[in-house]
A and B are shown apart, each in its own frame.
Chain A
Protein backbone atom coordinates (compact mmCIF):
# COMPACT_ATOMS: atom_id res chain seq x y z
CA UNK A 1 0.00 0.00 0.00
CA UNK A 2 1.38 3.40 -0.89
CA UNK A 3 1.95 6.13 1.64
CA UNK A 4 -0.63 8.67 0.36
CA UNK A 5 -3.32 5.99 0.49
CA UNK A 6 -2.43 5.27 4.09
CA UNK A 7 -2.81 8.90 5.02
CA UNK A 8 -6.19 8.97 3.36
CA UNK A 9 -7.22 6.20 5.71
CA UNK A 10 -5.99 8.24 8.65
CA UNK A 11 -8.17 11.16 7.57
CA UNK A 12 -11.21 8.93 7.17
CA UNK A 13 -10.39 7.29 10.49
CA UNK A 14 -10.24 10.69 12.19
CA UNK A 15 -13.61 11.60 10.71
CA UNK A 16 -15.19 8.33 11.87
CA UNK A 17 -13.75 8.75 15.35
CA UNK A 18 -15.10 12.29 15.40
CA UNK A 19 -18.60 11.10 14.58
CA UNK A 20 -18.38 8.31 17.13
CA UNK A 21 -17.14 10.57 19.90
CA UNK A 22 -19.48 13.45 19.12
CA UNK A 23 -21.78 12.67 22.06
CA UNK A 24 -18.77 12.78 24.37
CA UNK A 25 -17.78 16.14 22.91
CA UNK A 26 -21.32 17.37 23.28
CA UNK A 27 -21.40 16.37 26.92
CA UNK A 28 -18.25 18.42 27.54
CA UNK A 29 -19.59 21.32 25.49
CA UNK A 30 -22.89 21.45 27.38
CA UNK A 31 -21.06 21.20 30.72
CA UNK A 32 -19.46 24.59 29.97
CA UNK A 33 -22.57 26.23 28.53
CA UNK A 34 -24.31 29.00 30.46
CA UNK A 35 -27.88 28.49 31.62
CA UNK A 36 -29.18 31.29 29.43
CA UNK A 37 -27.52 29.76 26.33
CA UNK A 38 -28.80 26.29 27.09
CA UNK A 39 -32.01 26.57 25.08
CA UNK A 40 -30.55 28.74 22.35
CA UNK A 41 -31.52 27.71 18.85
CA UNK A 42 -29.40 26.65 17.10
CA UNK A 43 -27.10 25.57 19.95
CA UNK A 44 -23.50 26.75 20.05
CA UNK A 45 -21.24 24.13 18.56
CA UNK A 46 -18.45 25.03 20.95
CA UNK A 47 -18.43 26.84 24.29
CA UNK A 48 -17.88 30.39 23.01
CA UNK A 49 -18.68 31.96 26.35
CA UNK A 50 -17.75 29.17 28.78
CA UNK A 51 -18.75 29.02 32.41
CA UNK A 52 -17.60 26.88 35.29
CA UNK A 53 -20.99 27.05 37.02
CA UNK A 54 -21.65 23.40 36.22
CA UNK A 55 -18.42 22.29 37.83
CA UNK A 56 -19.06 24.55 40.83
CA UNK A 57 -22.34 22.71 41.28
CA UNK A 58 -20.47 19.41 41.15
CA UNK A 59 -18.13 20.51 43.92
CA UNK A 60 -20.97 21.93 46.00
CA UNK A 61 -23.40 19.07 45.63
CA UNK A 62 -21.83 15.93 44.24
CA UNK A 63 -18.64 15.38 46.23
CA UNK A 64 -20.26 13.02 48.79
CA UNK A 65 -21.67 10.92 45.94
CA UNK A 66 -18.25 10.72 44.30
CA UNK A 67 -16.68 9.70 47.59
CA UNK A 68 -19.25 6.96 48.06
CA UNK A 69 -18.64 5.67 44.55
CA UNK A 70 -14.90 5.59 45.17
CA UNK A 71 -15.41 3.65 48.38
CA UNK A 72 -17.88 1.24 46.79
CA UNK A 73 -15.55 0.73 43.81
CA UNK A 74 -12.53 -0.07 45.98
CA UNK A 75 -14.55 -2.33 48.25
CA UNK A 76 -15.96 -4.19 45.28
CA UNK A 77 -12.47 -4.69 43.82
CA UNK A 78 -11.13 -6.04 47.11
CA UNK A 79 -14.01 -8.43 47.71
CA UNK A 80 -14.02 -9.63 44.10
CA UNK A 81 -10.31 -10.45 44.19
CA UNK A 82 -10.55 -12.19 47.56
CA UNK A 83 -13.28 -14.46 46.23
CA UNK A 84 -12.06 -14.92 42.66
CA UNK A 85 -8.29 -15.36 42.96
CA UNK A 86 -8.26 -18.51 45.13
CA UNK A 87 -11.07 -19.98 43.03
CA UNK A 88 -9.16 -19.31 39.81
CA UNK A 89 -6.00 -20.87 41.27
CA UNK A 90 -7.87 -23.99 42.23
CA UNK A 91 -9.71 -24.27 38.90
CA UNK A 92 -6.56 -23.64 36.88
CA UNK A 93 -3.93 -25.63 38.76
CA UNK A 94 -5.46 -27.95 41.33
CA UNK A 95 -8.45 -28.88 39.20
CA UNK A 96 -10.62 -30.71 41.71
CA UNK A 97 -13.49 -32.95 40.74
CA UNK A 98 -16.54 -30.79 40.22
CA UNK A 99 -14.49 -27.83 39.04
CA UNK A 100 -16.02 -28.00 35.58
CA UNK A 101 -19.51 -27.78 37.02
CA UNK A 102 -18.46 -24.70 38.97
CA UNK A 103 -17.07 -23.05 35.83
CA UNK A 104 -20.33 -23.79 34.10
CA UNK A 105 -22.29 -22.27 36.96
CA UNK A 106 -20.20 -19.12 36.62
CA UNK A 107 -20.93 -18.89 32.90
CA UNK A 108 -24.64 -19.16 33.60
CA UNK A 109 -24.40 -16.72 36.51
CA UNK A 110 -23.16 -13.89 34.34
CA UNK A 111 -26.08 -14.25 31.96
CA UNK A 112 -28.70 -13.55 34.59
CA UNK A 113 -30.27 -10.16 33.90
CA UNK A 114 -29.36 -7.59 36.53
CA UNK A 115 -32.96 -6.65 37.17
CA UNK A 116 -33.73 -10.20 38.29
CA UNK A 117 -30.69 -10.31 40.54
CA UNK A 118 -31.78 -6.97 41.94
CA UNK A 119 -35.23 -8.22 42.83
CA UNK A 120 -33.92 -11.39 44.47
CA UNK A 121 -31.24 -9.46 46.34
CA UNK A 122 -33.82 -6.90 47.45
CA UNK A 123 -35.96 -9.58 49.04
CA UNK A 124 -32.88 -11.14 50.64
CA UNK A 125 -31.46 -7.84 51.87
CA UNK A 126 -34.78 -6.82 53.34
CA UNK A 127 -34.75 -9.87 55.57
CA UNK A 128 -31.10 -9.42 56.47
CA UNK A 129 -31.60 -5.73 57.17
CA UNK A 130 -28.79 -4.61 54.87
CA UNK A 131 -30.87 -2.57 52.46
CA UNK A 132 -29.46 0.95 51.96
CA UNK A 133 -26.07 0.04 53.42
CA UNK A 134 -22.74 0.29 51.68
CA UNK A 135 -21.61 -3.28 52.46
CA UNK A 136 -24.85 -4.48 50.90
CA UNK A 137 -24.25 -2.43 47.77
CA UNK A 138 -20.63 -3.61 47.57
CA UNK A 139 -21.65 -7.25 47.73
CA UNK A 140 -24.31 -6.68 45.07
CA UNK A 141 -21.77 -4.94 42.82
CA UNK A 142 -19.36 -7.85 43.09
CA UNK A 143 -21.95 -9.98 41.29
CA UNK A 144 -21.19 -7.85 38.23
CA UNK A 145 -17.54 -8.88 38.31
CA UNK A 146 -16.91 -12.19 40.07
CA UNK A 147 -17.71 -14.55 37.16
CA UNK A 148 -15.60 -12.43 34.78
CA UNK A 149 -12.77 -12.28 37.33
CA UNK A 150 -12.68 -16.04 37.81
CA UNK A 151 -12.72 -16.68 34.07
CA UNK A 152 -9.91 -14.22 33.30
CA UNK A 153 -7.73 -15.30 36.20
CA UNK A 154 -8.27 -19.00 35.48
CA UNK A 155 -7.25 -18.53 31.86
CA UNK A 156 -4.14 -16.67 32.93
CA UNK A 157 -3.12 -19.00 35.75
CA UNK A 158 -3.51 -21.98 33.45
CA UNK A 159 -0.69 -20.51 31.38
CA UNK A 160 1.82 -20.25 34.23
CA UNK A 161 4.73 -22.58 33.43
CA UNK A 162 4.47 -25.83 35.30
CA UNK A 163 8.20 -25.76 36.14
CA UNK A 164 7.72 -22.64 38.25
CA UNK A 165 5.16 -24.30 40.48
CA UNK A 166 7.11 -27.51 40.56
CA UNK A 167 10.22 -25.68 41.75
CA UNK A 168 8.20 -24.12 44.55
CA UNK A 169 7.00 -27.52 45.63
CA UNK A 170 10.51 -28.93 45.62
CA UNK A 171 11.53 -26.06 47.86
CA UNK A 172 8.91 -27.25 50.30
CA UNK A 173 6.18 -24.68 49.67
CA UNK A 174 2.67 -25.91 50.40
CA UNK A 175 -0.40 -25.13 48.28
CA UNK A 176 -1.24 -21.95 50.14
CA UNK A 177 2.34 -20.74 50.12
CA UNK A 178 2.65 -21.45 46.37
CA UNK A 179 -0.54 -19.52 45.73
CA UNK A 180 0.46 -16.54 47.82
CA UNK A 181 4.15 -16.22 46.95
CA UNK A 182 4.30 -17.52 43.38
CA UNK A 183 0.96 -17.59 41.60
CA UNK A 184 -0.41 -14.25 42.78
CA UNK A 185 2.72 -12.18 42.02
CA UNK A 186 3.11 -13.85 38.62
CA UNK A 187 -0.56 -13.12 37.80
CA UNK A 188 -0.13 -9.41 38.34
CA UNK A 189 -1.25 -8.37 34.85
CA UNK A 190 -4.42 -10.41 34.90
CA UNK A 191 -5.17 -9.16 38.39
CA UNK A 192 -4.76 -5.55 37.28
CA UNK A 193 -7.11 -6.16 34.34
CA UNK A 194 -9.71 -7.66 36.64
CA UNK A 195 -9.32 -4.89 39.21
CA UNK A 196 -9.69 -2.14 36.61
CA UNK A 197 -12.83 -3.57 35.07
CA UNK A 198 -14.34 -4.39 38.43
CA UNK A 199 -13.78 -0.85 39.63
CA UNK A 200 -15.31 0.56 36.47
CA UNK A 201 -18.41 -1.60 36.69
CA UNK A 202 -18.96 -0.87 40.35
CA UNK A 203 -18.45 2.83 39.64
CA UNK A 204 -20.96 2.69 36.76
CA UNK A 205 -23.55 0.54 38.48
CA UNK A 206 -27.01 2.02 38.40
CA UNK A 207 -29.40 -0.88 38.77
CA UNK A 208 -28.21 -2.12 42.16
CA UNK A 209 -27.74 1.39 43.46
CA UNK A 210 -31.27 2.38 42.47
CA UNK A 211 -32.90 -0.75 43.88
CA UNK A 212 -30.81 -1.58 46.95
CA UNK A 213 -29.49 1.82 48.02
CA UNK A 214 -32.12 4.34 46.89
CA UNK A 215 -32.97 5.23 50.48
CA UNK A 216 -29.43 5.15 51.81
CA UNK A 217 -27.58 7.98 53.48
CA UNK A 218 -24.61 7.33 51.24
CA UNK A 219 -25.40 7.02 47.57
CA UNK A 220 -23.10 6.60 44.58
CA UNK A 221 -22.59 9.12 41.79
CA UNK A 222 -24.89 7.28 39.37
CA UNK A 223 -27.77 8.08 41.71
CA UNK A 224 -26.43 11.61 42.09
CA UNK A 225 -26.85 12.13 38.35
CA UNK A 226 -30.18 10.33 38.33
CA UNK A 227 -31.59 12.57 41.07
CA UNK A 228 -30.35 15.60 39.14
CA UNK A 229 -32.30 14.51 36.06
CA UNK A 230 -35.28 13.35 38.05
CA UNK A 231 -35.69 16.63 39.89
CA UNK A 232 -36.68 18.11 36.55
CA UNK A 233 -33.55 20.13 36.94
CA UNK A 234 -33.05 22.46 34.05
CA UNK A 235 -29.39 23.00 34.89
CA UNK A 236 -28.06 20.75 32.20
CA UNK A 237 -24.60 22.22 32.56
CA UNK A 238 -24.49 20.86 36.10
CA UNK A 239 -25.83 17.48 34.98
CA UNK A 240 -23.33 17.24 32.16
CA UNK A 241 -20.47 18.47 34.36
CA UNK A 242 -21.29 15.67 36.80
CA UNK A 243 -21.38 13.26 33.87
CA UNK A 244 -17.94 14.48 32.77
CA UNK A 245 -16.55 13.97 36.26
CA UNK A 246 -18.19 10.54 36.47
CA UNK A 247 -16.45 9.63 33.21
CA UNK A 248 -12.98 10.34 34.57
CA UNK A 249 -12.30 6.77 35.78
CA UNK A 250 -13.21 5.32 32.39
CA UNK A 251 -11.01 7.82 30.59
CA UNK A 252 -8.13 7.34 33.01
CA UNK A 253 -8.45 3.63 32.53
CA UNK A 254 -8.16 3.96 28.79
CA UNK A 255 -5.20 6.34 28.94
CA UNK A 256 -3.21 4.59 31.66
CA UNK A 257 -4.02 0.98 30.98
CA UNK A 258 -5.04 0.69 27.37
CA UNK A 259 -3.40 -2.68 26.84
CA UNK A 260 -5.19 -4.11 29.85
CA UNK A 261 -8.48 -2.78 28.53
CA UNK A 262 -8.06 -4.36 25.13
CA UNK A 263 -7.03 -7.60 26.81
CA UNK A 264 -10.14 -7.47 28.97
CA UNK A 265 -12.46 -6.79 26.04
CA UNK A 266 -11.06 -9.50 23.81
CA UNK A 267 -11.19 -11.82 26.76
CA UNK A 268 -14.85 -11.25 26.09
CA UNK A 269 -15.97 -8.33 28.17
CA UNK A 270 -19.50 -7.47 27.17
CA UNK A 271 -21.37 -4.43 28.22
CA UNK A 272 -25.10 -4.44 27.94
Chain B
Protein backbone atom coordinates (compact mmCIF):
# COMPACT_ATOMS: atom_id res chain seq x y z
CA UNK B 1 0.00 0.00 0.00
CA UNK B 2 1.11 3.37 -0.71
CA UNK B 3 0.56 6.54 1.08
CA UNK B 4 2.04 9.92 1.23
CA UNK B 5 2.53 13.04 3.18
CA UNK B 6 3.86 16.48 2.51
CA UNK B 7 7.55 17.00 2.37
CA UNK B 8 9.67 17.76 5.35
CA UNK B 9 12.09 19.27 2.87
CA UNK B 10 12.06 21.12 -0.38
CA UNK B 11 8.92 23.11 0.01
CA UNK B 12 8.78 26.12 -2.22
CA UNK B 13 9.81 28.94 0.04
CA UNK B 14 6.80 31.07 0.86
CA UNK B 15 5.76 31.99 -2.64
CA UNK B 16 2.16 31.74 -1.62
CA UNK B 17 -0.16 33.72 -3.79
CA UNK B 18 -2.54 35.54 -1.54
CA UNK B 19 -6.26 35.29 -2.04
CA UNK B 20 -8.02 38.04 -3.86
CA UNK B 21 -10.36 39.15 -1.14
CA UNK B 22 -10.87 42.83 -1.76
CA UNK B 23 -13.42 44.42 -4.01
CA UNK B 24 -17.06 43.86 -4.78
CA UNK B 25 -16.45 40.38 -6.11
CA UNK B 26 -15.46 39.18 -2.65
CA UNK B 27 -18.54 37.15 -1.90
CA UNK B 28 -18.69 35.72 -5.38
CA UNK B 29 -15.03 34.70 -5.04
CA UNK B 30 -15.81 32.88 -1.82
CA UNK B 31 -18.61 31.00 -3.53
CA UNK B 32 -16.35 30.10 -6.44
CA UNK B 33 -13.66 28.91 -4.01
CA UNK B 34 -16.09 26.54 -2.35
CA UNK B 35 -17.50 25.52 -5.69
CA UNK B 36 -14.12 24.02 -6.54
CA UNK B 37 -14.13 22.19 -3.21
CA UNK B 38 -17.53 20.58 -3.66
CA UNK B 39 -16.22 17.41 -5.36
CA UNK B 40 -13.55 16.72 -2.76
CA UNK B 41 -15.87 17.46 0.14
CA UNK B 42 -18.55 15.16 -1.20
CA UNK B 43 -15.87 12.57 -1.90
CA UNK B 44 -14.39 12.73 1.60
CA UNK B 45 -17.82 12.43 3.16
CA UNK B 46 -18.91 9.53 0.98
CA UNK B 47 -15.72 7.49 0.79
CA UNK B 48 -13.89 8.32 4.00
CA UNK B 49 -16.31 9.62 6.60
CA UNK B 50 -19.17 7.27 5.85
CA UNK B 51 -17.07 4.06 5.67
CA UNK B 52 -15.38 5.10 8.91
CA UNK B 53 -18.80 5.61 10.47
CA UNK B 54 -19.93 2.22 9.16
CA UNK B 55 -16.82 0.70 10.62
CA UNK B 56 -17.54 2.20 14.01
CA UNK B 57 -21.09 0.97 13.80
CA UNK B 58 -19.94 -2.53 12.87
CA UNK B 59 -17.77 -2.61 15.95
CA UNK B 60 -20.64 -1.64 18.26
CA UNK B 61 -23.21 -4.14 17.05
CA UNK B 62 -23.50 -7.88 16.95
CA UNK B 63 -23.44 -8.67 13.27
CA UNK B 64 -24.10 -11.96 11.60
CA UNK B 65 -24.07 -12.54 7.88
CA UNK B 66 -27.83 -12.18 7.79
CA UNK B 67 -28.06 -9.01 9.83
CA UNK B 68 -25.11 -7.64 7.86
CA UNK B 69 -27.25 -7.68 4.75
CA UNK B 70 -30.48 -6.65 6.41
CA UNK B 71 -28.98 -4.09 8.74
CA UNK B 72 -30.91 -5.01 11.89
CA UNK B 73 -28.04 -6.10 14.09
CA UNK B 74 -28.62 -5.51 17.81
CA UNK B 75 -26.57 -2.82 19.53
CA UNK B 76 -24.09 -4.41 21.91
CA UNK B 77 -21.97 -1.48 23.04
CA UNK B 78 -18.38 -2.42 23.73
CA UNK B 79 -18.97 -6.16 23.75
CA UNK B 80 -16.90 -6.62 20.57
CA UNK B 81 -14.01 -4.65 22.04
CA UNK B 82 -14.17 -6.64 25.24
CA UNK B 83 -14.24 -9.86 23.27
CA UNK B 84 -11.22 -8.81 21.22
CA UNK B 85 -9.19 -7.49 24.13
CA UNK B 86 -9.65 -10.70 26.10
CA UNK B 87 -9.01 -12.91 23.07
CA UNK B 88 -5.91 -15.06 23.31
CA UNK B 89 -4.76 -13.59 20.00
CA UNK B 90 -4.75 -9.99 21.16
CA UNK B 91 -1.58 -9.77 23.23
CA UNK B 92 0.57 -11.73 20.76
CA UNK B 93 -0.83 -9.70 17.83
CA UNK B 94 -0.06 -6.45 19.61
CA UNK B 95 3.41 -7.68 20.50
CA UNK B 96 4.09 -8.81 16.92
CA UNK B 97 2.92 -5.41 15.67
CA UNK B 98 5.36 -3.68 18.02
CA UNK B 99 8.29 -5.96 17.13
CA UNK B 100 7.55 -5.79 13.40
CA UNK B 101 7.28 -2.00 13.49
CA UNK B 102 10.25 -1.25 15.72
CA UNK B 103 12.66 -3.68 14.06
CA UNK B 104 11.56 -2.60 10.56
CA UNK B 105 11.99 1.08 11.38
CA UNK B 106 15.35 0.62 13.09
CA UNK B 107 16.86 -1.21 10.13
CA UNK B 108 15.17 0.85 7.42
CA UNK B 109 16.36 4.04 9.00
CA UNK B 110 19.91 2.91 9.76
CA UNK B 111 20.43 1.40 6.33
CA UNK B 112 18.74 4.35 4.66
CA UNK B 113 20.93 6.82 6.52
CA UNK B 114 24.10 4.87 5.77
CA UNK B 115 23.24 4.76 2.09
CA UNK B 116 22.24 8.44 2.06
CA UNK B 117 25.65 9.33 3.51
CA UNK B 118 27.31 7.06 0.98
CA UNK B 119 25.51 8.75 -1.90
CA UNK B 120 25.80 12.26 -0.46
CA UNK B 121 29.03 12.99 -2.36
CA UNK B 122 28.67 12.47 -6.05
CA UNK B 123 30.72 9.84 -7.79
CA UNK B 124 30.50 8.34 -11.27
CA UNK B 125 27.12 6.62 -11.75
CA UNK B 126 25.86 7.75 -8.34
CA UNK B 127 22.61 9.22 -9.69
CA UNK B 128 21.81 6.09 -11.69
CA UNK B 129 22.53 3.75 -8.80
CA UNK B 130 20.47 5.87 -6.45
CA UNK B 131 17.56 5.65 -8.88
CA UNK B 132 17.93 1.86 -9.08
CA UNK B 133 17.64 1.70 -5.31
CA UNK B 134 14.06 2.90 -5.73
CA UNK B 135 12.99 -0.26 -7.53
CA UNK B 136 11.99 -2.28 -4.43
CA UNK B 137 9.84 0.58 -3.27
CA UNK B 138 8.01 0.90 -6.58
CA UNK B 139 7.26 -2.78 -7.16
CA UNK B 140 3.75 -3.98 -6.38
CA UNK B 141 3.77 -5.49 -2.90
CA UNK B 142 2.40 -8.77 -4.19
CA UNK B 143 5.44 -9.04 -6.45
CA UNK B 144 7.91 -8.35 -3.64
CA UNK B 145 6.08 -10.58 -1.21
CA UNK B 146 5.82 -13.56 -3.54
CA UNK B 147 9.45 -13.19 -4.63
CA UNK B 148 10.59 -13.19 -1.01
CA UNK B 149 8.31 -16.11 -0.25
CA UNK B 150 10.03 -18.18 -2.91
CA UNK B 151 13.51 -17.00 -1.92
CA UNK B 152 12.78 -18.02 1.67
CA UNK B 153 11.26 -21.37 0.72
CA UNK B 154 12.63 -24.03 3.07
CA UNK B 155 13.61 -26.64 0.49
CA UNK B 156 14.25 -24.76 -2.73
CA UNK B 157 14.85 -21.19 -1.62
CA UNK B 158 18.02 -19.42 -2.60
CA UNK B 159 18.55 -18.07 0.94
CA UNK B 160 18.78 -21.53 2.45
CA UNK B 161 21.01 -22.60 -0.45
CA UNK B 162 23.34 -19.70 0.35
CA UNK B 163 23.26 -20.55 4.05
CA UNK B 164 24.00 -24.16 3.21
CA UNK B 165 27.02 -23.07 1.17
CA UNK B 166 28.56 -21.49 4.26
CA UNK B 167 27.62 -24.46 6.40
CA UNK B 168 24.63 -23.04 8.22
CA UNK B 169 21.63 -25.28 8.60
CA UNK B 170 18.46 -24.74 6.62
CA UNK B 171 15.98 -22.44 8.31
CA UNK B 172 12.23 -22.92 7.99
CA UNK B 173 11.72 -19.24 7.36
CA UNK B 174 8.02 -19.23 6.63
CA UNK B 175 6.88 -22.49 8.19
CA UNK B 176 8.46 -22.25 11.63
CA UNK B 177 6.72 -20.13 14.30
CA UNK B 178 10.16 -19.02 15.50
CA UNK B 179 11.09 -17.46 12.17
CA UNK B 180 7.96 -16.32 10.35
CA UNK B 181 7.83 -12.88 11.98
CA UNK B 182 11.51 -12.30 11.16
CA UNK B 183 10.93 -13.34 7.56
CA UNK B 184 8.17 -10.83 6.95
CA UNK B 185 10.18 -8.18 8.79
CA UNK B 186 13.18 -8.76 6.52
CA UNK B 187 11.01 -8.37 3.44
CA UNK B 188 9.46 -5.22 4.85
CA UNK B 189 12.87 -3.72 5.63
CA UNK B 190 13.90 -4.34 2.04
CA UNK B 191 10.84 -2.51 0.77
CA UNK B 192 11.23 0.46 3.12
CA UNK B 193 14.95 1.24 2.75
CA UNK B 194 14.55 3.21 -0.52
CA UNK B 195 12.10 5.66 1.00
CA UNK B 196 14.40 6.35 3.93
CA UNK B 197 17.35 6.69 1.57
CA UNK B 198 15.63 9.23 -0.67
CA UNK B 199 14.17 11.39 2.08
CA UNK B 200 17.33 11.38 4.20
CA UNK B 201 19.40 12.07 1.09
CA UNK B 202 17.37 15.15 0.32
CA UNK B 203 17.73 16.13 3.98
CA UNK B 204 21.52 15.81 3.69
CA UNK B 205 21.53 17.89 0.52
CA UNK B 206 19.74 20.65 2.39
CA UNK B 207 22.64 20.99 4.85
CA UNK B 208 24.87 23.83 3.73
CA UNK B 209 28.41 22.78 2.73
CA UNK B 210 29.66 25.87 4.58
CA UNK B 211 28.84 24.16 7.88
CA UNK B 212 31.08 21.24 7.00
CA UNK B 213 33.85 23.55 5.85
CA UNK B 214 33.68 25.41 9.13
CA UNK B 215 33.82 22.12 11.04
CA UNK B 216 36.76 20.95 8.92
CA UNK B 217 38.58 24.23 9.59
CA UNK B 218 38.10 23.63 13.30
CA UNK B 219 39.84 20.30 12.80
CA UNK B 220 36.83 18.03 13.19
CA UNK B 221 37.44 14.45 12.04
CA UNK B 222 34.99 12.64 9.78
CA UNK B 223 33.29 10.94 12.71
CA UNK B 224 33.08 14.16 14.69
CA UNK B 225 31.56 15.94 11.71
CA UNK B 226 28.93 13.21 11.46
CA UNK B 227 28.27 13.13 15.19
CA UNK B 228 28.21 16.87 15.88
CA UNK B 229 27.16 18.41 12.57
CA UNK B 230 25.24 15.98 10.38
CA UNK B 231 23.18 14.22 13.03
CA UNK B 232 21.91 17.33 14.85
CA UNK B 233 21.09 19.12 11.59
CA UNK B 234 19.37 16.04 10.25
CA UNK B 235 17.28 15.53 13.35
CA UNK B 236 14.09 17.26 12.15
CA UNK B 237 14.04 15.30 8.90
CA UNK B 238 14.89 12.11 10.78
CA UNK B 239 12.09 12.59 13.26
CA UNK B 240 9.56 13.07 10.50
CA UNK B 241 10.86 10.15 8.47
CA UNK B 242 10.64 7.87 11.51
CA UNK B 243 7.21 8.99 12.62
CA UNK B 244 5.77 8.73 9.15
CA UNK B 245 7.42 5.35 8.76
CA UNK B 246 5.85 4.33 12.06
CA UNK B 247 2.34 5.32 11.01
CA UNK B 248 2.68 3.42 7.77
CA UNK B 249 4.45 0.36 9.14
CA UNK B 250 1.68 -0.09 11.71
CA UNK B 251 -0.77 -0.79 8.95
CA UNK B 252 1.35 -3.06 6.77
CA UNK B 253 -0.90 -5.85 5.69
CA UNK B 254 -0.16 -7.10 2.18
CA UNK B 255 3.34 -8.41 2.76
CA UNK B 256 2.48 -10.42 5.85
CA UNK B 257 -0.75 -11.76 4.46
CA UNK B 258 0.78 -12.85 1.17
CA UNK B 259 3.89 -14.40 2.71
CA UNK B 260 2.49 -16.18 5.78
CA UNK B 261 -1.21 -15.24 6.19
CA UNK B 262 -0.18 -14.38 9.75
CA UNK B 263 0.86 -17.94 10.49
CA UNK B 264 2.00 -20.51 11.22
CA UNK B 265 -0.35 -20.71 14.21
CA UNK B 266 -0.55 -16.94 14.52
CA UNK B 267 3.19 -16.43 14.92
CA UNK B 268 3.28 -13.51 12.48
CA UNK B 269 -0.19 -12.15 13.11
CA UNK B 270 -0.28 -8.39 13.61
CA UNK B 271 -3.29 -6.24 14.40
CA UNK B 272 -3.92 -5.53 10.72
CA UNK B 273 -3.76 -9.15 9.55
CA UNK B 274 -5.87 -10.22 12.50
CA UNK B 275 -8.48 -7.62 11.62
CA UNK B 276 -8.51 -8.90 8.04
CA UNK B 277 -8.74 -12.50 9.14
CA UNK B 278 -11.70 -11.74 11.37
CA UNK B 279 -13.53 -9.75 8.72
CA UNK B 280 -12.63 -11.54 5.51
CA UNK B 281 -10.39 -14.52 6.15
CA UNK B 282 -12.88 -17.03 7.51
CA UNK B 283 -15.86 -18.73 6.03
CA UNK B 284 -18.06 -17.13 8.67
CA UNK B 285 -16.96 -13.50 8.85
CA UNK B 286 -16.84 -11.80 12.24
CA UNK B 287 -17.31 -8.22 11.09
CA UNK B 288 -17.92 -6.80 14.56
CA UNK B 289 -14.71 -8.01 16.19
CA UNK B 290 -12.79 -7.33 12.96
CA UNK B 291 -13.94 -3.72 12.97
CA UNK B 292 -13.11 -3.46 16.68
CA UNK B 293 -9.50 -4.58 16.05
CA UNK B 294 -9.36 -2.13 13.15
CA UNK B 295 -10.49 0.72 15.35
CA UNK B 296 -7.90 -0.10 17.99
CA UNK B 297 -5.28 0.00 15.24
CA UNK B 298 -6.57 3.31 13.94
CA UNK B 299 -6.42 4.84 17.42
CA UNK B 300 -2.75 3.89 17.68
CA UNK B 301 -1.97 5.10 14.16
CA UNK B 302 -3.74 8.42 14.63
CA UNK B 303 -2.01 9.10 17.93
CA UNK B 304 1.35 8.93 16.20
CA UNK B 305 -0.08 10.64 13.13
CA UNK B 306 -1.11 13.69 15.12
CA UNK B 307 2.33 13.77 16.71
CA UNK B 308 3.77 13.81 13.19
CA UNK B 309 1.53 16.65 12.05
CA UNK B 310 2.48 18.66 15.13
CA UNK B 311 6.16 18.11 14.53
CA UNK B 312 5.86 19.08 10.91
CA UNK B 313 3.82 22.20 11.60
CA UNK B 314 6.46 23.36 14.04
CA UNK B 315 9.17 22.98 11.44
CA UNK B 316 7.33 24.35 8.49
CA UNK B 317 5.24 27.26 9.66
CA UNK B 318 3.30 28.04 6.53
* B141 on interface, CB distance cutoff 8 Å: yes
Which residues in B have their C-beta under 8 angstroms from that of A27? 143, 147
Q: Could you mark each residue 247-290 of chain B with 1 if its beta carbon is under 8 Å from any beta carbon of chain A, else 0? A: 11111111000100000000000001001100110000001001
Give the residue name and chain of the A residue nearest to B297 (CB).
Answer: A113
Which residues in B have their C-beta under 8 angstroms from that of A106? 44
- Verify A93–B17 contact, CB threshold 8 A: yes
Q: How far is the CA of A235 from the CA of B248 in the complex (A)?
A: 33
Q: How far is the CA of A126 from the CA of B12 in the complex (A)?
A: 44
- Chain A residues 199-220 with CB under 8 Å of chain B are 200-201, 203-207, 210-211
Selected contact of A10 from candidates B10, B123, B134, B190, CB within 8 Å: B123
- Chain A residues 91-116 with CB under 8 Å of chain B are 91-99, 102, 104-116
Which residues in A have their C-beta under 8 angstroms from that of B248? 270-272
| Stretch binding the partner chain, chosen from B29-37, B75-83, B88-96 | B29-37
* B146 on interface, CB distance cutoff 8 Å: yes
- Verify A266–B124 contact, CB threshold 8 A: no
* A9 on interface, CB distance cutoff 8 Å: yes
- Verify B279–A147 contact, CB threshold 8 A: no
- Verify B252–A95 contact, CB threshold 8 A: no
Q: Which of A40, A42, A268, A269 has the largest number of chain B CB atoms within 10 A?
A: A268
- Verify B142–A226 contact, CB threshold 8 A: yes
Selected contact of B149 from candidates A110, A162, A205, A229, CB within 8 Å: A229
Q: Could you mark each residue 104-142 of chain A with 1 if its beta carbon is under 8 Å from any beta carbon of chain B, else 0? A: 111111111111111111111011000000000001101
Give the residue name and chain of the A residue nearest to B250 (CB).
Answer: A113
* B175 on interface, CB distance cutoff 8 Å: no
- Verify B291–A250 contact, CB threshold 8 A: no
Given known contacts A99-B37, A266-B198, A270-B195, A30 and B48 CB-to-CB distance under 8 angstroms: no
Selected contact of B144 from candidates A23, A109, A175, A240, CB within 8 Å: A23
Give the residue name and chain of the B residue nearest to A267 (CB).
Answer: B7
Given known contacts A16-B115, A267-B4, A271-B1, A30 and B150 CB-to-CB distance under 8 angstroms: yes
Give the residue name and chain of the A residue nearest to B50 (CB).
Answer: A124
Given known contacts A13-B125, A94-B36, A206-B254, A144 and B155 CB-to-CB distance under 8 angstroms: no
Given known contacts A107-B309, A117-B51, A240-B150, A92 and B17 CB-to-CB distance under 8 angstroms: yes
- CB B198 to nearest CB in A, in angstroms, measures 5
- Verify B3–A250 contact, CB threshold 8 A: no
Given known contacts A127-B71, A211-B280, A83 and B43 CB-to-CB distance under 8 angstroms: yes
Give the residue name and chain of the B residue nearest to A89 (CB).
Answer: B36
Given known contacts A38-B156, A120-B54, A155 and B3 CB-to-CB distance under 8 angstroms: no
- CB B126 to nearest CB in A, in angstroms, measures 6
14 contacts between A and B (CB under 8 A): A9-B118, A9-B126, A10-B124, A23-B151, A41-B155, A90-B33, A95-B18, A96-B37, A120-B51, A197-B4, A211-B276, A229-B146, A239-B146, A265-B134
Query: 3 nearest interchain CB pairs?
Result: A120-B51, A272-B248, A113-B251
